Structure 1
Amino acid sequence: MKNLIADIKIPDSKLAVEAAELIREHSNDLLWNHSNRVYLFAAMKGNLNQLKYDSELLYISSLFHDIGLTSAFRSTDKRFEVDGANAARDFLKSRGVPDDAVRLVWDAVALHTSIGIVEYKETEAALMNFGVGYDVVGKNFDLISAETRQQVVEAFPRNQFKQNILHTFLDGFKDKPETTYGTINADICEMLLPGYKRPNFCHHVLHSKWDE
């Protein structure tokens, strides 16, 4: 893997390399390429805005952000974002990373789909959310030039990403669709999971056990 892509350096510390090896082992090409694109786009945003950020922690957060979708790290009862955050926490703690850094990465991974919240967290978490939004739905698409986007995609191909990512998401939580309640992932269940009926918060309020 090239260490410099579109003027963004891929972290190559011992910690970063070990994280990359772990994620590469347990994720498919689609998630591996997506996670690396997320890092690159996130770092570009940080550089464009002249923000100070820890590139190593941003990279590790990006690598782990979807690993909770995979069989190796998927729980039976938690949101996939939390599974990924827990996996990142275990990895970092096993290597003696300071607690503040561990908490930062945990938040970045666990909150990466929490639109309207995560962008106000630490810089690394907000930047990773930008990278996710940029790669998945093209949010703020024109902020990065077509030439730069092409360099990223040449290094980490999309390979019909738009057609495949929704099914990859669904595979990660189709056996626990209740964990998607109140999140954007419920949209995926509603569209692709046969027989799924999206829970309604208003129904829960009006049919609670309160006698009134």
Structure 2
Amino acid sequence: MTKNIASIIVPDSQLAKDAADVLHEYGSLLLWNHSHRVFLFGSLFGRQEKLVYDPELLYISALFHDLGLTSHYRSPDKRFEVDGANAARSFLEQHGISHEATRLVWDAIALHTTRGVAQYKEPVVALLYRGVVFDVIGDHFAELSEETRSQVVSAFPREGFKQKILQTFLDGFRHKPETTYGNINADVCERYLPGYKRPNFCDFVLQSPWNE
């Protein structure tokens, strides 16, 4: 794997290699390419904004951020983001990584679809989010040059990513659509699960057991 892309160094410590092995074993080519693009795009924004952070922690966050969608890591009843965060926490604890670093990675993964919150947290959390929304929906697309985008995509191709990632999302939580309540993933369920209608918060309020 190329270690320098768009002037961003891909971490190659033993910890980083072990994390990459996990994604390679349990993920897919789609998630492999997406996760590396997320790391690179997040890193590019970090460099652009002169943020101070640990690139290795951002890299591990990126590698694990969608593993909760996979058959190996998905739970029957938790949000996929939490499944991925829990997998990363277990991995880091097994490698003797500090509680604070582990917490940071857990937060980054658990919050990576939480728009309006993640971007205001610590740089590792914020940059994972920035990388995800840049790769998935092209958020702030013009802030990275066409040349830079092309270098990243050349190294880790998209290959029909738009359609494939939506199917990957659906496959990851079609068995537990209730976990998407209050989150953008409810959009995927409502569009692609026949007959599914997302819960409405107003109904929960009005139908609460309070006697009034």
TM-score range, shorter chain: over 0.9
Structure 1 counterpart of 2:182: 182
- 1:75 matched to 2:114? The reply is no
Q: Any unmatched runs of 5+ in structure 1? A: none
Task: Provide TM-score, normalisation by structure 2.
Answer: 0.99
User: Match for 2:192: what amino acid?
Assistant: L
User: Match for 1:116: what amino acid?
Assistant: G
User: Match for 2:51: what amino acid?
Assistant: L
User: Match for 2:84: what amino acid?
Assistant: G
Find the aligned partners of 1:49 and 1:19 in 2 and give their Cα distance.
27
1:135-154 superposed matches below 5 A: 135-154=135-154
1:3-82 superposed matches below 5 A: 3-82=3-82
- 1:118 matched to 2:112? The reply is no
Q: Any unmatched runs of 5+ in structure 2? A: none
Find the aligned partners of 1:179 and 1:203 in 2 and give their Cα distance.
17
Find the aligned partners of 1:23 and 1:31 in 2 and give their Cα distance.
8
Q: CA deviation at 1:190?
A: 0.2
CA deviations 1:87-132 (Å, max 9, x no partner) are 0000000010000000000000000011111111111100110000
Structure 2 counterpart of 1:107: 107
User: Match for 1:78: what amino acid?
Assistant: K
Moved more, 131-140 or 115-124: 115-124
Find the aligned partners of 1:118 and 1:149 in 2 and give their Cα distance.
23
User: Match for 1:199: what amino acid?
Assistant: P
Structure 2 counterpart of 1:2: 2
Q: CA deviation at 1:152?
A: 0.5
Find the aligned partners of 1:211 and 1:49 in 2 and give their Cα distance.
52
Find the aligned partners of 1:22 and 1:206 in 2 and give their Cα distance.
45
Find the aligned partners of 2:51 and 2:204 in 1 and give their Cα distance.
42
Helix, strand or coil for the counterpart of 1:126?
A: helix
User: Match for 2:93: what amino acid?
Assistant: K
User: Match for 2:205: what amino acid?
Assistant: V
Find the aligned partners of 2:141 and 2:52 in 1 and give their Cα distance.
22
Q: CA deviation at 1:175?
A: 0.2
Structure 1 counterpart of 2:166: 166
Q: CA deviation at 1:164?
A: 1.1
Find the aligned partners of 1:145 and 1:197 in 2 and give their Cα distance.
40
- 1:211 matched to 2:211? The reply is yes
Find the aligned partners of 1:119 and 1:152 in 2 and give their Cα distance.
22
In the alignment of these two chains, the number of paired residues is: 212
Find the aligned partners of 2:176 and 2:20 in 1 and give their Cα distance.
27
Task: Provide TM-score, normalisation by structure 1.
Answer: 0.99
